[in-house]
Amino acid sequence: MGSVLLRNAVKRKPGYLYYVDGKGNVCVAKMARGGRKKRR
């Protein structure tokens, strides 16, 4: 498993998924639900 090198290195927006690809770059993808809570 990896370890944290630097905390808060990326300003994150709600509704987006952030991940590290195979080359070590931080990538952004829009989430399907857009970061909203479920309705009751």
Model confidence pLDDT, tens digit, residues 18-28? 888 899 888 99
| CA angle centred on 36, ends 25 and 8, rounded to 5° | 35
Residue with tokens 């970061």: 35
Are the beta carbons of 26 and 19 closer than 8 angstroms?
yes
DSSP secondary structure code for residue 7 in this structure: T
- What was the pLDDT predicted at 3? 82
Report how far residue 32's alpha carbon sits from residue 2's, in angstroms, rounded to the nearest whole number: 27
Report how far residue 39's alpha carbon sits from residue 6's, in angstroms, rounded to the nearest whole number: 35
- Residue 29, token pair as written in the block: 């993808």
Tell me the whole-structure pTM to 2 decimals. 0.58
Model confidence pLDDT, tens digit, residues 1-16? 678 778 888 888 888 9
